[in-house]
Chain A
Amino acid sequence: MDLSMLGALTRPLREIVANKWFNRIAVPVVIGFAIVFPLFFVGASPFINNTVQALVYVVMALGLNVVVGFAGLLDLGYVAFYAMGSYAIGWFGSEFLYPVNHQKGVHFLVSRLPGSLPGVHINFFIVIVIAAALAAAAGAVIGLPTLRLRGDYIAIVTLAFGEIIGNIAANGDQLHFGQYTLTAGRQGITPVDVPNLPGVGDFSPLNNRPWYYVALALVLIVLFCNVRLRDSRLGRAWIALREDEVAAASMGVPIVRTKLLAYATGAAFGGMAGVLLSSYTNTVNADSFNFSFSIFVLAMVILGGLGSIWGVVLGALALSYFNTYGIPDVLGPFLKNFGLDVTQLGFGIFGFVLVLMMVLRPQGLLPERRRKLEMTQGIGADESLVEVNA
Chain B
Amino acid sequence: MEAASFAAGRVRRASALAWVRGLLSSYGLYVALLALPLVYGINDLQHAHNLTRLGQNLVNGLSNGAIWALVALGYTLVYGIIELINFAHGDVFMIGSFASFAFWTTLGLTVATSVLGLVGGLLVTLVVSMIACGALNVMIERVAYRPLRNAPKLAPLITAVGFSFILQNVGELWLGPAQHNVSDLIHAQQKVFSISGVVVNRSDLLALAVTAPLVILLTTFIARSRLGKAMRATAQDPEAARLMGINVDTTISAAFALGGMMAGAGGLIYALYQTNIWFFQGFRAGLFAFTAAVMGGIGNLRGAVAGGLIIGCVQQISDNRFGSQWTEAIVFGYLILVMVFKPQGLFGEQTREAG
Which residues of A line the B interface, CB within 8 A? 74, 145-146, 148-149, 151-153, 155-157, 159-161, 163-164, 167-168, 170-171, 174, 291-292, 295, 298-299, 302, 306, 344-345, 347-355, 357-359, 362, 374-375, 378, 381, 385-386, 388-389
Chain A residue contacts of B332, Cβ below 8 A: 160-161, 163-164, 167
> By the criterion CB–CB under 8 Å, are A164 and B333 in contact?
yes
Chain B residue contacts of A151, Cβ below 8 A: 153
Knowing A155-B157, A167-B329, A171-B326, say if A145 contacts B340 (CB, 8 Å): yes
**Residue from B143, B165, B283 in contact with A350 in the complex, judged by beta carbons closer than 8 Å:** B165
Q: A295-B165, A350-B165 are in contact. List 18 more A-B contacts (CB 8 A).
A: A74-B157, A156-B294, A157-B339, A163-B287, A163-B332, A167-B329, A168-B329, A292-B165, A299-B158, A347-B165, A350-B162, A351-B166, A355-B144, A355-B162, A355-B163, A358-B162, A385-B343, A389-B25
Complex: how many Å from CA A350 to CA B158? 12
> By the criterion CB–CB under 8 Å, are A160 and B144 in contact?
no
User: Does B154 interact with chain A (Cβ within 8 Å)?
Assistant: yes
User: Does B155 interact with chain A (Cβ within 8 Å)?
Assistant: yes
Chain A residue contacts of B325, Cβ below 8 A: 167, 170-171, 174
User: Does B315 interact with chain A (Cβ within 8 Å)?
Assistant: no
> By the criterion CB–CB under 8 Å, are B172 and A362 in contact?
no
> By the criterion CB–CB under 8 Å, are A348 and B170 in contact?
yes
Chain B residue contacts of A291, Cβ below 8 A: 283
User: Does B151 interact with chain A (Cβ within 8 Å)?
Assistant: yes
What count of chain B residues pass the 8 Å CB interface test? 46
User: Does B344 interact with chain A (Cβ within 8 Å)?
Assistant: yes
Chain A residue contacts of B156, Cβ below 8 A: 358
Residue of B nearest to A346 (CB): B169
Chain B residue contacts of A168, Cβ below 8 A: 329
Complex: how many Å from CA A299 to CA B85? 17
> By the criterion CB–CB under 8 Å, are B328 and A163 in contact?
yes
Instruction: List residues of B (77-105) whose CB comes within 8 Å of A's CBs.
Output: 83-85
**Residue from B283, B328, B343 in contact with A167 in the complex, judged by beta carbons closer than 8 Å:** B328
> By the criterion CB–CB under 8 Å, are A362 and B328 in contact?
no
Task: Quote the shortest CB–CB distance from A280 to chain B (angstroms).
Answer: 26
> By the criterion CB–CB under 8 Å, are B329 and A352 in contact?
no
Complex: how many Å from CA A306 to CA B147? 20
Residue of A nearest to B147 (CB): A359
User: Does B256 interact with chain A (Cβ within 8 Å)?
Assistant: no
**Residue from A149, A160, A374 in contact with B343 in the complex, judged by beta carbons closer than 8 Å:** A149
**Residue from B25, B84, B154, B343 in contact with A74 in the complex, judged by beta carbons closer than 8 Å:** B154
Write out, one digit per residue, whether chain B residues 328-355 have a CB within 8 A of any chain A CB (1) or not (0).
Answer: 1100110110011001100000000000
Chain B residue contacts of A385, Cβ below 8 A: 83, 343
> By the criterion CB–CB under 8 Å, are B344 and A388 in contact?
yes
Chain A residue contacts of B144, Cβ below 8 A: 355, 358-359
Complex: how many Å from CA A170 to CA B326? 10
Knowing A145-B340, A355-B163, A385-B83, say if A348 contacts B169 (CB, 8 Å): yes
**Residue from B85, B169, B326 in contact with A155 in the complex, judged by beta carbons closer than 8 Å:** B85
Instruction: List residues of B (48-63) whose CB comes within 8 Å of A's CBs.
Output: none
Chain B residue contacts of A157, Cβ below 8 A: 335-336, 339
Chain B residue contacts of A153, Cβ below 8 A: 294, 339, 343
**Residue from B85, B153, B154, B169 in contact with A347 in the complex, judged by beta carbons closer than 8 Å:** B169
Task: Quote the shortest CB–CB distance from B161 to chain A (angstroms).
Answer: 6
Would you list 30 pairs from A and B whose C-beta atoms are within 8 A, ordered by A residue?
A74-B157, A145-B336, A145-B340, A148-B343, A152-B153, A156-B85, A156-B290, A156-B294, A156-B339, A164-B336, A292-B165, A298-B158, A302-B154, A306-B154, A345-B169, A347-B166, A348-B170, A351-B162, A351-B164, A351-B166, A353-B162, A354-B162, A355-B144, A358-B151, A359-B148, A362-B148, A374-B152, A375-B151, A375-B152, A385-B83
Complex: how many Å from CA A153 to CA B339? 8
Write out, one digit per residue, whether chain B residues 125-169 have a CB within 8 A of any chain A CB (1) or not (0).
Answer: 000000000000000000110011011111111110111111011
Chain B residue contacts of A355, Cβ below 8 A: 143-144, 159, 162-163, 166
> By the criterion CB–CB under 8 Å, are A386 and B344 in contact?
yes
Chain B residue contacts of A146, Cβ below 8 A: 339
User: Does B173 interact with chain A (Cβ within 8 Å)?
Assistant: yes
> By the criterion CB–CB under 8 Å, are A152 and B166 in contact?
no
Chain B residue contacts of A171, Cβ below 8 A: 325-326, 329
Residue of A nearest to B331 (CB): A160
Task: Quote the shortest CB–CB distance from B303 to chain A (angstroms).
Answer: 15
> By the criterion CB–CB under 8 Å, are B336 and A160 in contact?
yes
Chain B residue contacts of A358, Cβ below 8 A: 144, 148, 151, 155-156, 158-159, 162
Residue of B nearest to A142 (CB): B336
> By the criterion CB–CB under 8 Å, are A344 and B158 in contact?
no
**Residue from B84, B153, B161, B326 in contact with A295 in the complex, judged by beta carbons closer than 8 Å:** B161
Chain B residue contacts of A298, Cβ below 8 A: 158
> By the criterion CB–CB under 8 Å, are B166 and A302 in contact?
no
Chain B residue contacts of A348, Cβ below 8 A: 165-166, 168-170
Residue of B nearest to A348 (CB): B169
Instruction: List residues of B (306-342) whose CB comes within 8 Å of A's CBs.
Output: 325-326, 328-329, 332-333, 335-336, 339-340
Residue of B nearest to A148 (CB): B343
Residue of B nearest to A74 (CB): B154
> By the criterion CB–CB under 8 Å, are B162 and A352 in contact?
yes
9 closest Cβ pairs, A-B complex: A351-B165, A348-B169, A354-B162, A160-B332, A355-B162, A351-B166, A351-B162, A167-B329, A386-B343
Chain B residue contacts of A347, Cβ below 8 A: 165-166, 168-169, 172
Chain B residue contacts of A349, Cβ below 8 A: 169
Complex: how many Å from CA A375 to CA B158? 15
> By the criterion CB–CB under 8 Å, are B339 and A359 in contact?
no
Complex: how many Å from CA A105 to CA B166? 48
Write out, one digit per residue, whether chain B residues 12-48 have a CB within 8 A of any chain A CB (1) or not (0).
Answer: 0000000000000100000000000000000000000
Interface centre among B147, B158, B335 (most CB of A within 10 A): B158
Chain A residue contacts of B328, Cβ below 8 A: 163-164, 167
